[in-house]
Structure 1
Amino acid sequence: MNQQQSMKPIKFPAGFWTGLEQLGIAPQDVARQAGLPLTIITQVKVSAAEYFALWQAYSDLIGDIARGIIGLVTAFETSQYPPDALATYHARDYRDALNRMARYKQMCPPERLLITEKGEECTIELQWQETEEPGPAVLTGITLAYLLELGRRGTGQTLTALGAEFTQPMGDEEALERYFGCPVRTGAAKNRLILRRRDLDLPFVTYNAELLELLTPVLERTLDEQAGRRSFTGTVKWIIKQSLMGGRYDIQTVARELKLSERTLQRRLTDEGTSFKQLLAQARHEQAKAYLADPLLDIHEVACLVGYEDQNSFYRAFRSWEGDTPAHWRAEHAGF
């Protein structure tokens, strides 16, 4: 069996079709170019083969890969992104947004983003999940270009990259260099975007804590929380829940949010008869049940949303909480 055929279905962003129309390209022309039925335009999920075929068809129709990258990235309306990804535009700062995007990509194959901060640089490497076959060059370029676009839209500043590297030819490299504001290298060993690490600290002018909470799926709040009367323990748990999607939910992050030292945070939790480890487990447990109540979320997506890097770890944790598997628990509690 072809590797692409064996991959899980991929959620396809409706904003892709809107972006095409803004560029003067009819969605039906892309579907026909890809050799797919017109009903593909209305599908929420597509196969990996269909996903790659649509991106390649778009690239073929627009003529030049670089033109296709820049055109769609700048035309794509943020409001058309799925809620999980839209939340990145309302993150606290560029670092938070990138981590949220990496988490979103992790649960939405085939793209996977690996973020490394070292020295004065932040390197974001694009890998392909569940397949060794590289995606179309235009998809690679758009994925990395959109990370820079995310920073530009969020900070309101014309940020530039330090470097952009691609394994495949990318068409008009001069146009890409003007867009990224840096040298563009093709024929590289990896697909990577290199940013200035200091830019990650830039706050987002689009930061909206209340909207972020609404956009991050099923973030539970108690009546006391809604009334703004959280206990200290409740506040810590709420921050953990807010942070799970972004993948930064360690005690250092929570202490920084509360403007406390780690030692003070631990002491206050001990005084209230709990610990950070216990609250993290509780937050994951509560969020997991809430996410499992949504039939549109796959179990591997739920695992990512509550901070587990692999599905097996999530299964073990869930069994320790409920004495049951996530799939069986979902079936038993469907419709509650």
Structure 2
Amino acid sequence: MTSFTRIKFPTGFWKGLRQLGISPHEVVRKAGLPLTIINEPVVNATQYFLIWQAYSDLIDDTAKGIIKLATGFETVHYPPTVLAAYHARDYRDALTRMARYKQMCPPENLLITEEDEHCTIELKWLYTEQPGPPMLIGITLAFLLELGRRGTGQPLTARSVEFSHSMGDVKLLEDYFGCHIQIGGNCNKLTLYRSDLDSPFVTYNEELLEILAPVLDQSLDEQQRSNPITEMVKWVLKRSLTGGRPDIQTVADELGMGNRTLQRRLTDEGTSFKHLLTQVRHERARKYLADPSLDISEVAFLIGYEDQNSFYRAFRLWEDDTPSNWRTEHLGKTQ
């Protein structure tokens, strides 16, 4: 298991469960995991999701579980990464810090986009093929709004919320978010009113931030340096290929770093973005061609080629053969 798949589960989570009358032992048993996880909170992505699914299974309704934990979790139990957001200067600063420090506890990844009068925060997953449990998705987005409410001391509402999966009592969630909830969308995202981002935080604590921020920034930098950037980039590329060609800026944004920083780190590891893109396309092409249910045109689309001829030319360079011949030969050997 590579280092970036190791997730530090916040100890405050277990304290929060006790506040809600839920036994951490019951959650861990329901997840089928050893009880030692409560005291040794470093888990992998699969275990992380299992814990959240177990909490969901112990609650009557997903929507109830989302609101219960988001509103009932006391600020004294916030981990340092969240405290840095809670004591930020304003809502925009808080969200920026949340997105930055979320990188220290993958697989969650927050992408913030400000456009016109709106601010959209999309939740994506890094380093795992598994989709996140609906409960975790809902709580993550609900807490971003809860953070704004607690920080500003104002009853802020969202402009819209989109979930890809069922979330239980939608009416309950609409009452909480104060907006329409779309279920069955293509992504999971919270859209805020951009004007709210300028709202100052009554919880702003400059002295505390001067202590917390340098330590968190140093930890994040050390973590990023220790992780092989090559594998991280390849992971993002595999998720982003379909129907288009992801550029280095898109990948850098998803990894939470600047374009130049990403280029420099790839150079340090003896590779380049262009080389990794080609490598990932080649690897995925072989994988998809091994699936006889996929047409050649579908394979081309899935690895980011808009036209089949471009795919044929690239594949000839990789394998010195056509996709059709390679597939026939490969499938013949495996049958």
Question: Partners of 2:18 and 2:85 in 1: how far apart?
Answer: 24
Letter in 1 for 2:163: F
- Please say if 1:27 is aligned against 2:33: no
TM-score, normalization: structure 1? Answer: 0.66
**TM-fit CA distance, 1:317:** 9.3
SS state at 1:113 partner: strand
Letter in 2 for 1:184: I
- Please say if 1:299 is aligned against 2:225: yes
The equivalences for 1:134-213 within 5 A come to 134-213=131-210
**TM-fit CA distance, 1:153:** 0.5
Question: Partners of 2:162 and 2:142 in 1: how far apart?
Answer: 11
Contact kept in structure 2, 1:23 and 1:72, CA below 8 Å: yes
Distance of aligned partners of 1:6 and 1:208 in 2 relative to their CA distance in 1, 3 Å threshold:
closer
Question: Partners of 1:298 and 1:43 in 2: how far apart?
Answer: 22
The equivalences for 1:1-336 within 5 A come to 8-218=5-215, 292=222, 297=223, 299=225, 308-309=257-258, 313=263, 315=265
TM-score, normalization: structure 2? Answer: 0.66
What do you get for the CA RMSD once the two structures are aligned? 2.8
Contact kept in structure 2, 1:166 and 1:192, CA below 8 Å: yes
Distance of aligned partners of 1:93 and 1:61 in 2 relative to their CA distance in 1, 3 Å threshold:
same
Contact kept in structure 2, 1:5 and 1:48, CA below 8 Å: no
SS state at 2:119 partner: strand
Aligned length: 243
SS state at 1:62 partner: coil
**TM-fit CA distance, 1:5:** 9.2
SS state at 2:58 partner: helix
Match of 2:310 in 1: none
Question: Partners of 2:16 and 2:133 in 1: how far apart?
Answer: 18
**TM-fit CA distance, 1:314:** 6.3
SS state at 1:192 partner: strand
SS state at 2:145 partner: helix
**TM-fit CA distance, 1:133:** 2.1
Question: Partners of 1:104 and 1:313 in 2: how far apart?
Answer: 21
Structure 1 unpaired stretches of 5+:
220-244, 246-286, 320-336
Question: Partners of 2:87 and 2:193 in 1: how far apart?
Answer: 21
Contact kept in structure 2, 1:15 and 1:77, CA below 8 Å: no
**TM-fit CA distance, 1:316:** 6.8
**TM-fit CA distance, 1:63:** 2.1
**TM-fit CA distance, 1:87:** 0.6
Question: Partners of 1:174 and 1:13 in 2: how far apart?
Answer: 30
**TM-fit CA distance, 1:27:** 0.4
Cα shift readout 1:283-330 (whole Å, capped 9, x = no counterpart):
xxxx58x965xxxx56358x99xx7458855647999xxxxxxxxxxx
Contact kept in structure 1, 2:45 and 2:128, CA below 8 Å: no
Question: Partners of 2:61 and 2:171 in 1: how far apart?
Answer: 12
Question: Partners of 1:31 and 1:44 in 2: how far apart?
Answer: 12
SS state at 1:102 partner: helix
Letter in 1 for 2:102: K
Question: Partners of 2:14 and 2:103 in 1: how far apart?
Answer: 23
Distance of aligned partners of 1:30 and 1:145 in 2 relative to their CA distance in 1, 3 Å threshold:
same
Question: Partners of 1:291 and 1:187 in 2: how far apart?
Answer: 37
Distance of aligned partners of 1:314 and 1:67 in 2 relative to their CA distance in 1, 3 Å threshold:
farther
Cα shift readout 1:259-297 (whole Å, capped 9, x = no counterpart):
xxxxxxxxxxxxxxxxxxxxxxxxxxxx58x965xxxx5
Contact kept in structure 1, 2:16 and 2:77, CA below 8 Å: no
Question: Partners of 1:23 and 1:183 in 2: how far apart?
Answer: 27
**TM-fit CA distance, 1:19:** 1.2
Q: Identical aligned pairs, as a percentage?
A: 60
**TM-fit CA distance, 1:30:** 0.3
Contact kept in structure 1, 2:170 and 2:181, CA below 8 Å: yes
